[in-house]
Structure 1
């Protein structure tokens, strides 16, 4: 199926309540970078915490690839900043700091196989067991970013080890795919209505100031989320695509 048709179908998936998407048990959100959790799953996290659903967040990469040439924010400082931004975002969503894990794999070089990927998958397994998870949520395997694809592979490894757990994908950069890209069969899954969580989600996205403002202004190649993309992700629904075993 072409990417344009797939994404249009995904945007029309049926709207389900959280406990229809994950009928029982906890949830693990796997984010390739600090900020993906707020963009793709901020509403889900806020809804889960408001309902008392146990949830863990696992951030896979260190995020230092966003500003690789900044004199003011060398890698270690940027890593610390991005972790603190993530904890601030999590707080806006009702998630305590002790329920957030940072794996610290290298931004832009997250492995999809081998010992480091296996260790990352085991960390996801540990998070799932800690909250009695019945579902994992990770970025879409067709997102055009190597770390997003690798994180999808890591979550798949974790799902295999857990057995019987559901796996859902949330698109982040998938919306930028060339329309003719083949992405496989039509989507199955659901949309979660998050309008009532919009303020919390918007605050969480804004907490990632290094990605949404000119906080780091001394890297001409530095990354910044465009307002149009931010607006897309604070709309009324989040999309979760079922990933077949």
Structure 2
């Protein structure tokens, strides 16, 4: 997944209308070197994840609800920031909307029959690597079925936001149906509770190109990761063995996140839409 489907784009460029493949996530994606070569990425406004947080009521620590469509989304898009927040004593509540059990639907490897449990274990290992002692909540929505259950998810998130100061959720324009539905549900729940919602992109780094007009760059901020947080995130990513390595040697066993994809998440910064 290292070939680029379109020529490298200069700053401000957009993909030609009608040229996107039918399934951009399955298509060959944008190499990380193209993103690193784009000056616009480093020029995004900087956000300190601590001083930039909404204030908490007097007398209690700040509380943040982190939403993930599948176990690993939060570490991919937000892992370094989670490490920084956890080290500062911010209270974190993590919601896994699905167990991610359908990541390899055509695999016949034995582990594929137990992916819900496997991915849950991987997530807890990764959170430990991040140094994050979080309150974890699993909604158990079927993997691939978040949109069909979006109203229920919205209600659950609204309840979980009752005592939170901020929600961070998958980008509602990420082009993965579960990510988008989880993001929409978080935005709706945030409006209902009058809690701000920030979004983190995951698959957008694959299908978009630098300067892509489909991404809300006017809302983008860059969170610089201290070396310790960056290292914690990189070791946490290694915990998701079911996603970063093949399940076996057969068809359908391929890694979901091969090295070319992981390169997007080994940066020394993360990007959020505010």
Q: Which TM-score band applies after superposition, normalised by the shorter structure? A: 0.7 to 0.9
In structure 1, how many angstroms separate the alpha carbons of the residues matched to 2:176 and 2:201? 11
How far apart are residue 121 of structure 1 and its match? 2.1
In structure 2, how many angstroms separate the alpha carbons of the residues matched to 1:3 and 1:55? 37
1:123 matches 2:156 = yes
Match of 1:73 in 2: 111
Task: State the structure with more CA Rg.
Answer: 2
CA contact (8 A) 1:211 1:225 kept: yes
Match of 1:156 in 2: 187
Which runs of structure 2 are paired with 1:72-151 in the superposition (5 Å)? 72-75=110-113, 77-96=114-133, 99-111=135-147, 116-129=149-162, 132-151=163-182
CA contact (8 A) 1:11 1:239 kept: no
In structure 2, how many angstroms separate the alpha carbons of the residues matched to 1:83 and 1:184? 30
Match of 2:271 among 226, 231, 239: 239
In structure 1, how many angstroms separate the alpha carbons of the residues matched to 2:13 and 2:157? 31
Partner secondary structure for residue 64 of structure 2: strand
Match of 1:169 in 2: 199
Match of 2:96 among 40, 43, 59: 59
Gaps in structure 1 of 5+ consecutive residues: none
Partner secondary structure for residue 165 of structure 2: strand
- CA deviation string 1:125-161 (max 9, x = no partner): 33333xx422111111221211111111111121022
The total of aligned residue pairs comes to 231
- CA deviation string 1:91-129 (max 9, x = no partner): 1112236x11111212222116xxx32322233233333
- CA deviation string 1:5-42 (max 9, x = no partner): xx864653222211232143221111111111111010
In structure 2, how many angstroms separate the alpha carbons of the residues matched to 1:182 and 1:78? 36
In structure 2, how many angstroms separate the alpha carbons of the residues matched to 1:225 and 1:103? 24
In structure 1, how many angstroms separate the alpha carbons of the residues matched to 2:100 and 2:198? 23
- CA deviation string 1:174-208 (max 9, x = no partner): 12235496426542242111132011101111111
**What do you get for the CA RMSD once the two structures are aligned?**
2.4
CA contact (8 A) 1:10 1:187 kept: no
TM-score, scaled relative to structure 1: 0.84
Gaps in structure 2 of 5+ consecutive residues: 1-11, 16-34, 56-61
In structure 1, how many angstroms separate the alpha carbons of the residues matched to 2:13 and 2:160? 35
TM-score, scaled relative to structure 2: 0.76
Higher relative contact order (CA 8 A, sep 6+): 1
CA contact (8 A) 1:30 1:136 kept: yes
Match of 2:71 among 34, 42, 47: 34
Partner secondary structure for residue 66 of structure 2: strand
1:13 matches 2:44 = yes
Q: Pick the structure with more helix per residue.
A: 1
Distance 1:83 1:2, change over 3 A: farther
Partner secondary structure for residue 67 of structure 1: coil
Partner secondary structure for residue 238 of structure 1: strand
